[in-house]
Amino acid sequence: MTAALTGLGYQRWALDAILLLPLLGAVLVLLSPPAAAKRLALYVTLAEFVVSLGLWWTFQPTAAMQFQVVRQWIPEWGIGYRLGVDGISLFLLLLTTLTMPLAVLGSWSYITRHERPYYALLLVLTTGMLGVFVALDLFVFYVFWEIMLIPMYFIIGVWGGPSRLYAAIKFFVYTFLGSLLMLVAILTIYFAVARATGESSFAYDHLWRNIGYVRPWAFWLFAAFALAFAIKVPMFPFHTWLPDAHVEAPTAGSVILAGILLKMGTYGFLRFAVPLFPEIAMDPVVTGVVVGLSLIGIIYGALVSLVQPDFKKLVAYSSVSHLGFVMLGIWALTLQSVQGAIVIMINHGISTGALFFLAGMMYERRHTRDIAEFGGLAKVMPAFAAVLTVVSLSSIGLPGTNGFVGEFLVLIGAFRTHPWAAGVAATGVIFAAWYLLWAIQRLLFQKVDKPENAKLPDLSPRELAVLAPLLACIVWIGIYPAPILRRIEPSARALVTQVREAAGAPPVADVAMQPGAR
């Protein structure tokens, strides 16, 4: 497979193709007859997925940036179209391309008005999200970061639920506030580095090498990046846009928001905030704040999920909890915890994506998301019940599903540097079981006490097609995550080593056995 792809020169055109294909698709969808829009969007996203799948085979498990594309864009200002993929972004990329066809399929009967612009926006969004993950030029990164914001704003605002405008504006303004600060920080770094080195360039490499020149303002620059990313993650207490946006967005919107957009925040921390400002990130006070907020997020998100009457809101708050684990993993900064954090990012996309799909399927049948309106669905919709149970268990982190792999790695890694934090975070597994099992009990079990529920149709083949790939991933990552972990490892190792060295933090021995320890 690898040889065949290399023969095609895959490494050279892969990223260009992945970024351009959805844009072309968007144009085609806009020009197509309305009835063909969704079909066309599906084909485009499927083609996109197939093209991106080549990365899996051609990716070399090293820490280096691969599939690099470097082109001049605005040479006067040193802005270049610089792209690349490493172990950190590879799976986020694949997750995105996997999610998009499912999102299109999941919108099949949900979206009934303005189909062409909807699918066109989905495709533009795809390019935006993928661009964020592959950009190696801070200007280009910022452009993609904003590009993905706009389609999402419209998707929520036009096709969303009853208070969609409030949610859309909140989402947009909140995120935008953070990204503007980030833009200021990017420009500050750019000018400072340009002045000091005489070379104007937004290239990530260049800025990263010369980041020492901004040391006097490093804290504020870090803060600007961190705020932008923390809003996106979202970390407590910047999370309140999330339940609104998730609940009001159409199914595919929620899936993409939870599955991919939230990862931009944690990805930003991994790619930019932490490596650019290692000594700030590893500062005891900053670490304390971030780890503390992550823990609050884990426990708080879980407890608030517990009492949500609305299933989508429950899942939304559970995201706060899951992303808390990711942040803890990043800040614990051990190989295992960082690998685990990346795995949770993938897992959360799969499991929470599936949960939102399921919530959407419930909504399409009953036009309510109120948990109390359901009950006894296991009898009426056995396949739905089985899938919901499996997905919930994955979200709970049952060993043998993907959820466990990520949480276990994060916690075991975090325990090496922050034992108390890891211990507190581990209680999250109890609450996770509580809120999800309680929810599925109220949805699936007990008697069918509402006549409206007695005749609900079980999953259709199309819905099964949406869920089946996610279920397969849940099981696959649960029992054989090694291929994924091996591809992530070199990049994660490089990150941990570099940041620890730069911050002067003691390296965490990555060797076995420390005889003499008690």
Partner 1 sequence: MNQIPSAVAWTWLIVALPLAGFVVNGAFSFFAPNAKRAISAVGVGVLVAAFAVAVVVVRAVGAAPPEEPWILTYWSWMPAGSLQLDFALQVDQLSAVMLMVVTGVSAMIHIYSVGYMGEDPGYARYFAYLNLFVFFMLVLVLGANFPVMFVGWEGVGLCSYLLIGFWYEDKVNADAGKKAFIMNRIGDFGFLVAMFLIFQTTGSLDFREVFAAAPAIFEVGGATITLITLALFLGCTGKSAQIPLYTWLPDAMAGPTPVSALIHAATMVTAGVYLVARANVLFAMAPISSAVVAGVGALTALYAATIALKQWDIKKIIAYSTVSQLGYMFLGVGVGAYASGIFHLATHAFFKALMFLAAGSVIQTLHHAYHATGRHEDAQDLRNMGGLQRYLPWTAALMWVGGLANIGVPPLAGFFSKDDILARTFARGHEAPLFYLFWALGAVGALLTAFYMTRLMAYAFHGPNRTGEREREHLHEAPWVMTGPLVVLALGAVAAGAINLPAVLPGHEWLARWLEPVTFMGGLYLVEGQLGAATEWTLLALAAGIAAIGMIGAWQLLKPAVLKPAREAPAETGIQRVLLRKYYVDEIYDTLLVRPLAWLSDRVLWKTIDAFIIDGVAVNGVARVARLVGWVGSRLQTGQVGTYVVIFVLGTIVLLRALLRS
Instruction: List residues binding partner 1 (CB under 8 A).
Output: 170, 173-174, 237, 239-241, 300, 303-304, 306-308, 335-336, 339-340, 376, 378-379, 382-383, 386, 393, 398-400, 404-405, 408-409, 411-413, 415-416, 419, 422-423, 426-427, 429-430, 433-434, 437-438, 441, 444-447, 479-482, 485-486, 489, 493, 509-518
Give the up-direction half-sphere exposure of residue 182: CA atoms within 13 A in the CB hemisphere.
Answer: 26
Rounded CA-CA distance 510/493 in Å is 10
Rounded CA-CA distance 120/41 in Å is 8
Q: Which lies closer to partner 1 via its Cβ, residue 137 or residue 489?
A: 489
CB of residue 401 to partner 1, shortest distance in Å: 10
CB of residue 309 to partner 1, shortest distance in Å: 10
Q: Which lies closer to partner 1 via its Cβ, residue 193 or residue 444?
A: 444
Q: Which lies closer to partner 1 via its Cβ, residue 306 or residue 465?
A: 306
CB of residue 17 to partner 1, shortest distance in Å: 32
Q: Please state whether 376 falls in left (phi above 0), alpha (psi between -120 and 50) or beta.
A: left
CB of residue 269 to partner 1, shortest distance in Å: 20
| Cα distance from N-terminal residue to C-terminal residue, the chain | 50
CB of residue 350 to partner 1, shortest distance in Å: 17
CB of residue 65 to partner 1, shortest distance in Å: 21
Q: Which lies closer to partner 1 via its Cβ, residue 201 or residue 308?
A: 308
CB of residue 181 to partner 1, shortest distance in Å: 14
CB of residue 472 to partner 1, shortest distance in Å: 14
Q: Which lies closer to partner 1 via its Cβ, residue 127 or residue 334?
A: 334
For the purposes of burial, counting CB atoms within 10 Å of the CB of 68, is it exposed (0-12), middle (13-18) or buried (19 or more)? middle
Rounded CA-CA distance 488/474 in Å is 18
Gyration radius of the chain over CA positions: 22
Question: Element (H or E) spanning 360, and its range?
Answer: helix 335-366
For residues 285 and 342, the answer to whether their CB atoms sit within 8 Å is no
Residue 514 main-chain phi, psi, to 5 deg: -125, 80
Rounded CA-CA distance 159/152 in Å is 10
Give the up-direction half-sphere exposure of residue 5: CA atoms within 13 A in the CB hemisphere.
Answer: 18
CB of residue 212 to partner 1, shortest distance in Å: 29
Q: Which lies closer to partner 1 via its Cβ, residue 75 or residue 419?
A: 419
Report the sign of the C-alpha dihedral through residues 46, 52, 57, 61, in that order: negative
DSSP state for residue 113 in the 8-state scheme: S
Q: Which lies closer to partner 1 via its Cβ, residue 18 or residue 167?
A: 167
Rounded CA-CA distance 96/126 in Å is 7
Question: What does the block give as tokens for 228?
Answer: 């932008």
Question: Any residues with CB less than 8 A from the CB of 443 and at least 6 apart, and which?
Answer: 311, 362, 371, 374, 375, 377, 388
CB of residue 244 to partner 1, shortest distance in Å: 8
Report CA 224 to chain centroid distance, whole Å.
20
Question: What does the block give as tokens for 153?
Answer: 């704003």
Q: Which lies closer to partner 1 via its Cβ, residue 4 or residue 383?
A: 383
Q: Which lies closer to partner 1 via its Cβ, residue 66 or residue 305?
A: 305
Q: Which lies closer to partner 1 via its Cβ, residue 119 or residue 174?
A: 174
